Amino acid sequence: MERARHLRSLRSALDAVAGGDGGVLVLLGGEAGGGKTALVREFCRTAEPVLWGACDPLFTPRPLGPFVDIAHDLGGELHDLLEAGAKPHQVAAALARWAQAAARPPVIVLEDLHWADEATLDVLSLLGRRIAAIPALVVATYRDDEIGRAHPLRRLLGEVRGTGSVRRLAAEPLSIEAVAALAEPHGVDPAALHRVTAGNPFFVTEVLAARGADIPATVRDAVLARAARLPAAATTVVEAVSIALPHCELSLLESLVAEAAAGLEGALAAGILEVVPGGVAFRHELARIAIEESLTPYRRIALHRAALDALAASGADATRLAHHAEAAGDTAAVLRFAPAAAEHAASIGAHREAAAHYARALRFAGDLGPAERATLLERRSQECYLTDQTNESITALEQAVALRRGIGDRLGEAAALSLLTRRLWCGARTHEATRAGHEAVRLLEGLPPGRELALAYSNLSQLYLNDEQFDETVAWAQRASDLATTIGDTDVIVHSLNNHGTIELLAGRPEGLAKLERSLALAERPGLEEHVGRFFIHIGWAMTRTRAHELAPWLDRGIDVCDELGLEGWRLYVQAYRARLHLDRGRWDDAADDAGFVLRSAESVPLLRILALTILGSIRARRGDPDPWPLLDEALALVDGQHELQYRVPVVMARAEAAWLGGRGADAEEATRDLLADAVARRASWVVGELAWLRRLAGRDEPVTGVAEPYLSQLAGDAGAAATRWEKLGCPYDAALALVGSGDEADLRRALAEFQRLGARPAAAIAARRLREHGVRGLPRGPRPQTARNLVSLTRREVEVLALVRQGSSNAEIAARLFLSERTVHHHVSAILRKLGVSSRTQAISESARLGISTPT
Amino acid sequence: MPRYIVERTFDSGLHIPVDQAGAETCLAVVGRNAEEGVTWLHSYVTSDRSKTFCVYDAPTPEAVRRTAERNALPVDQISEVSVLDPYFYR
């Protein structure tokens, strides 16, 4: 009844899709028992074709569960893909192809996404982002009160928002009038009913079906009251079905209950159970839970055990078997099925579920031998690592190391220690990481050389890479690579090539790129996905450090590749570096979007939060927006105890710049002093330049060596040359920052204009103040910051210059005509090229004509 | 949720007609704001309509700027504020 409005929305969405405007994704939220399923069923009654899939309420759901359901009905390509173990992007592509080939746009229903496994969420994310190109109406339901801040679904909901192709509906509780209308035929007091049930549709219908004298106080009581009215045979069937997830096949039911037919009839007739594809199930999950919880422990265990036996014999899904095995307390079965379920989940990219399965196996591993337990721990550690659960990853691996040491397995202990170095670094425990790394090498050098030693060498080279120690990095990488080549271990060759190439790129040596590219080429095979992710992260790091923006295309590609391979954590790093790229290029809105996304998603990796917080803080400080300091203070807390430049530089620089912009130059100077010495020691010439220039702006004039261009020029007093270099690098803010430190009035005017164009209010105020100190009066308000929508607006002077450019005049000729210095004309031409977004005079002529900019003839 | 004052300058002046079209314009702004959790409370407009001071509740300044972009509104300055009422202290 009250759902008419929502039904209309769904209908209009389907009409929009049928009209050929591309697909629509509808996200339907509501509380448990809120009537989402009923609403969607009502809508689908008159729609065709409909594909229906639901997520399991299993603690560890079947990977791609709803798509397995859909493929069951659909057959064809999707079915074959899933049988063969498809990855999320393949599933999404197959669905899209099917929708495009269908005669009418289909409705695809995905229910209960709050229970979705990681692979299912990946598919939904891909569908959501490309929905405009998929001619289908996708309706996804979820319990909005069950997804906390950190739930993966919440992140996805944030990701796909904001376009017309994604719509949100909420199934609200029933109003008192609606409850009254339902209650009237039963003679139940509608006010009391509404008060107790809070308008929850499921609760209301259960109460009315129970037909008791009193209104039960909870949903559970209502369900049990209704079930109590069943005859004994039906009750037995209902109890048996309650333990079967996602539904109960008829064959399974027969194994659980002798002569189930009569009882089943009764349960179906009473409306507690319903027929679904594949068997029978409860009408609502809330009912199933209520019944299952009401079973005696003995009966529950007995049912699970019987289900386990029956399903194992018929070769069912390892996930279901593991679930029943755990509920039955069958240790041997858990240890048999949980690892199998984990491997299956991992193979299709559902790493969260894989980690949970290993955890389940470990709970039952008390009697396992230490070596087997260590293996389970190592695998769990890997899965936790891949899903950004860094602390759990470290704990599991530490336990594995202790176990291996306990049984004298030196090789195993060293291999685990070596792996632990990487995990500890991710958890920002660098000292422990270095200790573990050297210990691993020490142990392994006492044994015949093999891949474990090669890997241990390479892990050490990675630690030194992160600390930006050039010589140590190269030395350990070389040892690793030599040994790995001898024994033919591609994994280590890829890893060490990457380390070597990265340190070279950071030092400004272009030959590093070739090594990195070679490592990527070697890594493009199954099992080496992590290395692919590392490639993109290191490209991002080196690119942002040395402003090598020609490497920028790698970042967009990196995000796509990481998504495809299910590398969540890696993708966030690449995105953080892309945010920095946007910041440097003056695209502050894009930078804020990327940094904001990373902040919402980064759970436990401190470096990710540091990168994102400092970018967002810098944007606010540069714009003069409130308030950068909470972000910058959080970043400072995260960097506590860290020594590496890649941790400290973003924080120190962002805070120092914000302080200087806020008129507190002394704070800026103090914050940067120690870091400058460390950067000089590491020969990190870009960092030295950045720090030295900010200190100069804050009033500190000191000699400094080992500085990269363009900083070298601006520190030497040639602001114009530096600004030109910065503009070539595509960094307008840095160009203006170079000019604002100059004593030359024209430079300061240029800086002011550029800061105004970028919307950098505090810096513009500083430039204006310095101009006034030069005795300049009557400063221009300047052009307003250009948003993407606004048309190009040239100043009056620039229009004059452009006119002459169009006539083919050289800078010298223009200077003569307009009575300006050649240098000033050069500046105007640069500004025109930049505003038009071109890089040559010829392009400027054609672009300005295209835009219809008229100039005086 | 913080409260902000957003200053805007309109080069050719702000002109929203007092009719159905004007009402729809304002409600469209409200709708686009809602996508980011941004609430436009009300605005103060100078007599010559060249400048406005808009009072907003929003999660972050970036959300204010994103919705401004979508609504094609200029942003000069954003300040975080709290309300001071002369009769508060009575």
Which pLDDT belongs to residue A787?
A: 43
- Kindly state the DSSP code that residue A248 receives in the 8-state scheme: B
Give the distance from residue B90's alpha carbon to the nearest chain A alpha carbon, in angstroms: 31
Predicted pLDDT at A788: 35
Of the candidates B4, B62, B74, the beta carbon closest to that of A592 is on B62
Q: Is the pLDDT of residue A271 over 70?
A: yes
Q: Which of B36, B61, B76 sits opposite A626 (nearest CB)?
A: B61
Residue A796: is its pLDDT beyond 80? no
User: Which segments of A19-117 does DSSP mark as H helices, in order?
Assistant: 36-44, 65-74, 76-83, 88-101
Higher-scoring residue by pLDDT: A492, A83: A492
Residues of B with CB below 8 A from A624's CB? 77
Give the pLDDT confidence of A115-127 residue by residue, as tens digits: 998 889 889 988 8
Give the residue from B10, B60, B73 with the most A CB atoms within 10 Å of its CB, the best one to mutate: B60
How much of chain A exceeds pLDDT 90, in percent?
A: 46
Amino acid occupying residue B66: R
pTM (2 d.p.): 0.67
Q: How many CA atoms lie within 13 A of A622 on its CB side?
A: 30
Give mean pLDDT, residues A30-37. Answer: 86
CB A738 within 8 A of CB A722: yes
Q: Give the best residue of B5, B7, B9, B65 to mutate against chain A (max A CB count within 10 A).
A: B65
Task: Spell out which residues of chain B touch residue A592, defining contact as CB-CB under 8 Å.
Answer: 62, 65-66
Report which secondary-structure segment, H or E, holds A542: helix A529-546
Q: Which CATH class is domain B3-81?
A: alpha beta
Residue B9 with chain A: CB contacts under 8 Å: 784
Element (H, E) at A534: helix A529-546
Fold of domain A4-172: Rossmann fold (3.40.50)
pLDDT band at A715 (very low <50, low <70, confident <90, very high): very high
In terms of C-beta density within 10 A (0-12 exposed, 13-18 middle, 19 or more buried), how is residue A154 classed?
A: middle
Give CA–CA dist A451/A460, Å, rounded: 14
Chain B residue with minimal CA distance to A157? B35
Residue A833, H or E segment: helix A822-836
Residue with the bigger pLDDT between A753 and A846: it is A753
Supply angle C-alpha A231, A236, A239, rounded to 5: 120
CA distance A684 to A469: 10
Question: Using beta carbons and an 8 Å cutoff, which residues of A are at the interface with B?
Answer: 161-162, 589, 592-593, 596, 616, 619-620, 623-627, 759, 761, 784, 787-789
Q: Which of A239, A208, A245 is nearest to A57 (CA)?
A: A245
Residue length of chain A? 857
- pLDDT exceeds 70 at position A169: yes
Pairing of strands A279-282, A273-276: antiparallel
Q: Check pLDDT > 60 for residue A789.
A: no
Length of chain B, in residues: 90
Q: How far is A655 from chain B (nearest CA, A)?
A: 19
Lowest mean pLDDT among A13-27, A538-552, A841-855: A841-855
* pLDDT at A555 exceeding the cut of 60: yes
Q: How far does the CA of residue A548 sit from the closest CA of chain B (Å)?
A: 27
Q: Between A455 and A823, where is the model more confident?
A: A455
Q: How many CB atoms lie within 10 A of CB A464?
A: 21
CATH code for the domain defined by A796-851: 1.10.10.10
Q: What's the rounded Cα separation, in Å, for the pair A803 and A749?
A: 23
Name the residue in chain B with its Cα closest to that of A756. Answer: B76
Question: Of A682-686, A703-707, A735-739, where does the model show the most confidence?
Answer: A735-739
**HEC readout, A118-142:** HHHHHHHHHHHHCHHHCCCEEEEEE
Cβ contact B65–A596 (<8 Å): no
Of A483-492, A845-854, B52-61, where does mean pLDDT reach its minimum? A845-854
CA angle B81, A615, A422 (to 5 degrees): 135
pLDDT score of A643 more than 70: yes
Q: What's the ipTM?
A: 0.88
Q: Is the pLDDT of residue A853 over 70?
A: no
State the average pLDDT for chain A: 88
Residue A24 region by backbone torsions, left for phi larger than 0, else alpha for psi between -120 and 50, else beta: beta
Could you report the per-residue pLDDT of A64-80, keeping only the tens digit for each? 989 988 988 888 888 88
Residues B55-66 as b or e (16 or more Cβ within 10 Å = b): bbebebbbbbbb
Residue A822 pLDDT greater than 90, yes or no: no
Boundaries of every domain in chain B: 3-81
- Give the lowest-confidence range in A141-145, A158-162, A578-582, A815-819: A158-162
- Look at A620 and B61 and tell me if their CB atoms are within 8 Å: yes
* Interchain CB distance below 8 Å, A784 and B69: no
pLDDT classification of A798: cutoffs 50, 70, 90: confident
Interval A666-682: pLDDT, tens? 888 888 999 999 999 98
Across A836-853, average pLDDT:
74
In order of A57, A81, A368, the CA distances from A320 in angstroms are 11, 21, 23
What phi, psi does A526 have (nearest 5°)?
A: -60, 145
Pairing of strands A273-276, A107-111: unpaired
Strand-pairing partners, residue A169, are: A28
Q: How many angstroms separate the first and last alpha carbons of chain A?
A: 70
**Residue A851 clears pLDDT 80, i.e. is over it:** no
Calculate the CA A617 to chain-centre distance: 20
Q: Is A626 within 8 Å of B77 when comparing Cβ atoms?
A: no
Give helix then strand counts, H and E, for chain B. Answer: 2, 4
> In chain B, what residues touch A761 (CB-CB under 8 Å)?
77
pLDDT band at A852 (very low <50, low <70, confident <90, very high): low
Domains of chain A, by residue range, sit at: 4-172, 177-226, 796-851
Q: H or E element: which one contains A748?
A: helix A745-758
Query: A790 falls in which pLDDT band (50, 70, 90)?
Result: very low
Residue from B11, B6, B48 nearest A790 by CA: B11
